[in-house]
Structure 1
Amino acid sequence: MLAAVCREYGGPEVVRVEDFPTPVPGPGQVAVRVRAAAVNFSDVLLVAGEYQVKVPPPFVPGSEFAGVVESVGEGVTDLAAGDRVFGTGIVGGFGEVALGRSESITRTPDGIPDTVAAAFGVAHRTSYHMLRSVARLQPGEQLVVLGAGGGVGLAAVQLGVALGATVTAVASSAAKLEAAAANGATHLVDHRASNLRTALKETLPGGADVVLDPVGGDLAEPALRALRWRGRFVTVGYASGTIPRIPLNLVLLKGIEIGGMQLRDLGIHAPDELRRNEAELIALFAAGKVTPHIGATFAFADSAAALRHVADGHAVGKTVLEIAPAR
């Protein structure tokens, strides 16, 4: 098969489309003929050898994909060849055939294009589980989303609105804030054009109920200060590259809750809650109430350019590779 292959750690340009062995599903695995794949910042880090999990080269990057089941391994009974699906994994998505564990593969709702399905899984699942299970977001609450122009951020904007909150989007450019507004944000804050602490105080004089932070770095503390008494601060990731140090006296004085969670841990420790969240989220997706914002689409041959686009912070929402002709 053809695949975008990383044969040595480095920048996105080390990835080249070439022949690579076609993977064969083992027990509990599903082989998917890939039509589209999403490009995430974690893929950039994996290629650079800087992700929290190292995959030794050579490997095929790509953690999100969508297409058609080609074959299934021993023990897989809930999926069959010909099923339209989308799935996730650490690597493998940027190839004509990708493998996934059966539990990480989901049937694509009718009417959803493969490009959209490929871009849905990671960002929307991350945001929904954080808002639903960690933040316990309620209708009528004020939600601040940092990094609101990225995949997780824009998903959080959409889902916050779907859950009945009023959303304040914080991002680094007019284009990203425009996308956030188009996805339901009521208030827009460009943190590069103003002091974030002051801007949030002016925007939300009564304070925010919840802050969702996939960025970290210098944005975390001023956003935390914007919370009202007993507000909830949810840490999702550190796209800035810096893990923030939070002054705990602020937590004490405001009675703030700080929470976070890795998705795999929810499945281990609260499987019933995970199943509830998943059913609610897929229902929203199938009904068209939430959908990924795809800011850029690249041809398969331009896989390195797609990774560079994400690495340089140009992505608005999700970036997608078209592995096979659109259907």
Structure 2
Amino acid sequence: MKAMVCERFGGTETLALRDVPDPSPPGADEIQVRLGARGVQYVDVLMLAGKYQFRPEPPFIPGNEAAGHVVALGADVTGFAVGDAVMVRLTLGACAELANAKAALCDRVPSTLSLAQAGVFRGAYATAYHALLQRGRLAAGETVLVHGAAGGIGIAAIQVAKTFGATVIATAGSAEKRAACLEEGADHAIDYRAGFTDQVKALTGGRGVDIVYDPIGDKVAEESLRCLAWGGRLLILGFLGGGPTNIRSNYLLIKGIDAVGVRIGGLNEANPALAIANTKALLALAEQGKLRPRISHTFRLDQAAEALQAVIDRTVIGKAVLVG
């Protein structure tokens, strides 16, 4: 089979299309899937660089979410049949033509999603759902400030927050991205680059927001503390802005703020049953038409390097997908 292989740690130049052996027949609890769509994530960029918490040694095939069609079943697998369209969660190996996946981590593609949308669904929506509902304790009627709102986990956060009755203020750095946030359901979309505290306070009548959803970090996280209302929650999802912030504990004390870390990989490892239940709930919402990924860029499998560069350059709105 063909696969994109990371041959050494570094940037996107480390990826090469190679002929590699097909996977072995699926194990007793596995299914084998011919992959047709794969999600592209910033996690993949970090893995190529050897800077992610999980650090596979090269050579390896990157990618951890995909969708395709079942071609073989393990001896103990029930509930799937050859030919079924499924979405899969992998540790590695999505940037290939075939993959074996644990049946427990696979789901049928909802009728409302294309194969491409199914291939980019799991990671972003699982992150947003776990962050907002479980770590952030979101309640209907609350207000959420979503940073990086035009990205994959940002669009997912807008949709999840609106589904559960929140008011959403989205931040994004261009008019095109802010328009996309409004199209996806955000109540307000603001430019954060020259500061956003005054804008947030004006939109909330001076009260501030209940939750900040922050994959940016650095100075954005620091300013976000000033936007939170009493008892607010700062959800820390990553550091796309260049690194973590030094959180001033006096803000936490005076305003009763919770600073909460969110890592979906950690949930998958520590509480796999909850992670699986979350995915089932999200797929039910997708089946109802309430959740739908936005894909701005589509690439072939052999264009994985270009796809990851688009993620790095922040030209992607929503998600990028590798097809074929």
Q: What is the TM-score of this pair, normalised by structure 2?
A: 0.93
Question: Which one is further off, 24-33 or 304-313?
Answer: 24-33
DSSP-derived class of the 2:107 partner: strand
Question: Which one is further off, 57-66 or 160-169?
Answer: 57-66
Measured at CA, do residues 144 and 300 of structure 1 come closer, stay the same or move farther in structure 2, by a change above 3 Å?
same
DSSP-derived class of the 2:197 partner: helix
- Report the alpha carbon displacement of residue 122 of structure 1 after superposing the two structures with TM: 0.2
C-alpha contact 1:200 1:223 (8 A) present in aligned 2: no
The 5 Å alignment of 1:242-253 reads 242-253=243-254
Query: Which amino acid letter does the alignment assign opposite residue 20 of structure 1?
Result: V
| Equivalent residue number for residue 21 of structure 1 | 21
C-alpha contact 2:112 2:289 (8 A) present in aligned 1: no
The 5 Å alignment of 1:22-61 reads 22-24=22-24, 25-61=26-62
Residue by residue, what CA displacement relative to the aligned partner does 1:41-90 show, whole Å, maximum 9, x if unpaired? Answer: 11111112222211111111112110011223354333332221111223
The 5 Å alignment of 1:93-108 reads 93-108=94-109
CA RMSD across the alignment: 1.9
Question: Which one is further off, 314-323 or 171-180?
Answer: 171-180
Measured at CA, do residues 49 and 250 of structure 1 come closer, stay the same or move farther in structure 2, by a change above 3 Å?
same
C-alpha contact 1:40 1:63 (8 A) present in aligned 2: no
Query: Which amino acid letter does the alignment assign opposite residue 199 of structure 2?
Result: A
Question: Which one is further off, 31-40 or 54-63?
Answer: 54-63
| Equivalent residue number for residue 260 of structure 1 | 261
Question: Which one is further off, 260-269 or 201-210?
Answer: 260-269
Pair 1:163 & 2:164 matched: yes
Measured at CA, do residues 148 and 203 of structure 1 come closer, stay the same or move farther in structure 2, by a change above 3 Å?
same
Residue by residue, what CA displacement relative to the aligned partner does 1:183-220 show, whole Å, maximum 9, x if unpaired? Answer: 0111112112x212233223322210111112211101
Pair 1:281 & 2:273 matched: no
| Equivalent residue number for residue 195 of structure 1 | 195
Structure 1 runs (4+) deviating above 6 angstroms are: none
Residue by residue, what CA displacement relative to the aligned partner does 1:214-251 show, whole Å, maximum 9, x if unpaired? Answer: 22111012112111111122112222241222101101
Query: Which amino acid letter does the alignment assign opposite residue 228 of structure 2?
Result: L
C-alpha contact 1:132 1:277 (8 A) present in aligned 2: no
CA distance in 2, matches of 1:19, 1:264: 29
C-alpha contact 2:112 2:286 (8 A) present in aligned 1: no
C-alpha contact 1:7 1:59 (8 A) present in aligned 2: yes
| Equivalent residue number for residue 228 of structure 1 | 229
Residue by residue, what CA displacement relative to the aligned partner does 1:268-300 show, whole Å, maximum 9, x if unpaired? Answer: 666675555333311111111111111111122
| Equivalent residue number for residue 8 of structure 1 | 8
DSSP-derived class of the 1:148 partner: coil
DSSP-derived class of the 2:21 partner: coil
DSSP-derived class of the 2:82 partner: coil
DSSP-derived class of the 2:137 partner: coil
C-alpha contact 2:113 2:292 (8 A) present in aligned 1: no
Identity over aligned pairs, percent: 39
Query: Which amino acid letter does the alignment assign opposite residue 284 of structure 1?
Result: L
| Equivalent residue number for residue 87 of structure 2 | 86
DSSP-derived class of the 1:119 partner: helix
CA distance in 2, matches of 1:141, 1:307: 35
C-alpha contact 1:108 1:117 (8 A) present in aligned 2: yes
Query: Which amino acid letter does the alignment assign opposite residue 105 of structure 2?
Result: S
